[in-house]
Amino acid sequence: MANVVKKYSISYELAQKMVNEALTKARQLGVTENVAILDDGGNLKAFGRMDGAPILCIEMAQNKAYTALFGVSTQDFFQLYPGRSVAVGRHSHACACGGVGWRVSH
């Protein structure tokens, strides 16, 4: 079929492993975190919320992950729009440190 494109996306298993590794690192650092992993379309693939992590930061974790889809950290993205929140489409972008983009090759 000429009109079909093969697409690669992160698996649930890898997304969950990334969440688990991030939560392990947070425990080592003595902090409580919310961790969100999105697929290439910006949809939530895996999520972890440590006991004691702020409930209000659940959405922030997802916004940071969405911002990181642009290929830059949220800290670098913040430098583009200092002091402003930015919305593109249905998502807000997190202009704060913490979101990191990952590239998964097949």
Q: Are strands 91-93 and 34-38 parallel, antiparallel or unpaired?
A: unpaired
Rounded CA gap, 37 and 85, in Å? Answer: 21
Residues near 64 by beta carbon (within 8 Å), at least 6 away in sequence: 36, 74, 94, 96, 98, 99
User: Which band of pLDDT confidence, cut at 50, 70 and 90, is reported for residue 93?
Assistant: very low
List pLDDT tens digits, range 2-15: 788 888 888 999 99
Mean pLDDT of the chain: 78
Q: At residue 65, does pLDDT exceed 60?
A: yes
User: Which band of pLDDT confidence, cut at 50, 70 and 90, is reported for residue 102?
Assistant: low
What average pLDDT does this structure show over 59-70?
A: 79
Q: Residue 86: exposed, middle, or buried by beta-carbon count in 10 A (0-12, 13-18, 19+)?
A: middle
Cα separation of the two ends of the chain: 22
Cα 97–chain centre separation = 12
pTM of the model: 0.72
- Please report the pLDDT score of residue 57 as a whole number: 81
The CATH code belonging to domain 12-93 is 3.30.450.150
Q: Where are the domains of the chain?
A: 12-93
List pLDDT tens digits, range 24-48: 999 999 999 999 999 988 899 999 9
Q: At residue 101, does pLDDT exceed 60?
A: no
Residue 21, SS3 per DSSP:
helix
